[in-house]
Amino acid sequence: MSDLVAKDLSMVFDVGSGGQVHALKNINFTLKNGELLSVLGPSGCGKTTLLNIIAGFNRPTGGAVYLGDEEIEGPGVNRGMVFQQGALFEWLTVSENISFGLRMKGGTSKGSQKRVDEWLDIVGLSGFGNVPTYQLSGGMQQRIALARCLINDPDLILMDEPLGALDALTREKMQALVLKIWKETGTTIMIITHSVEEALLLGERLFVMAPRPGRIHKEYNLPFAEMGVTQDTRDIKNTPEFIQTREEILTMIWDMEEEIMGQT
């Protein structure tokens, strides 16, 4: 079982003429195995920098991140990524996309096909296995991206605005799917989003980050993700507690944006 631990994590970028940007300063947290974390904050607060360090794409200038006993020093198969655009192989079929990682690892074709069929079922795409990916809608492509990531059984899934390009209705359906997958697989998930509503629904933990320097401004422990596994997510979004927390966070981020505008 692999907890994700960030210890005194800092990231400073040199921006020319001796200038520096403190994209992250002294970030400390532990994300326990199986937890679902959403990260929210105004533009430039370091969300993507944090995700890139955990993915192993960037090395921090201070501190370290650990997954289980191992320090993250580069990309690894124990972490899966889902981006805003599915980043699928358009010339492959749905099944070929989903089984891509298994084939890279040399999985047997019979065993692989069974698992692909299971994942097609979980993400609601049974019967679409032989369809070329480019023929599918954005929502369907994100379902494939989720399945392609999860079939490899990663310890941690990192999602960067995974539902940001979808229309409102598809987005709501996909939020429910993310919760279902989280519950069924028990995978640890970290999701970056610009939507306060989405962060509230999809985070049993939620970090609101602040910029200059990038840091965790406030953490919430929330009941909505757990509720969303069994209840209609629309009903949850209409509960007084959800609305009150949403307004509190919107005001918090609004104030940060105002402060940034005042400084520039």
> Cβ of residue 21: shortest distance to ligand ATP, in angstroms?
5
Q: Considering only 45-53, 174-182, 200-208, 215-223, which stretch makes contact with ligand ATP by CB under 6 A?
A: 45-53
What are residue 14's DSSP bridge partners? 20
Distances (CA, A) of 50 to 15, 27, 192: 18, 9, 10
Asked if 10 and 25 touch (Cβ cutoff 8 Å), the reply is: yes
Asked if 97 and 133 touch (Cβ cutoff 8 Å), the reply is: yes
Range 212-241, binding ligand ATP (CB under 6 A):
214
In whole angstroms, what is the distance from residue 237 CA to residue 246 CA? Answer: 9
Contacting residue, 4, 23, 140, 151, with ligand ATP by CB under 6 A: 23
Q: Considering only 15-23, 146-154, 171-179, 183-191, which stretch makes contact with ligand ATP by CB under 6 A?
A: 15-23
Tell me: does residue 261 bind ligand ATP (CB under 6 A).
Answer: no
> Cβ of residue 235: shortest distance to ligand ATP, in angstroms?
29
Tell me: does residue 21 bind ligand ATP (CB under 6 A).
Answer: yes
Please state the φ and ψ torsions of residue 254, each to the nearest 5 degrees: -60, -45
Contacting residue, 48, 61, 170, 195, with ligand ATP by CB under 6 A: 48
> Cβ of residue 210: shortest distance to ligand ATP, in angstroms?
10
Classify 239 as helix, strand or coil.
coil
For 191-204, give the secondary structure using H, E and C: EECCCHHHHHHHCC
> Cβ of residue 158: shortest distance to ligand ATP, in angstroms?
13
Instruction: Quote the strand ranges of 93-204, DSSP E.
Output: 156-160, 188-192
Binding site for ligand ATP (CB under 6 A): 13, 15, 21, 23, 41, 43-49, 214
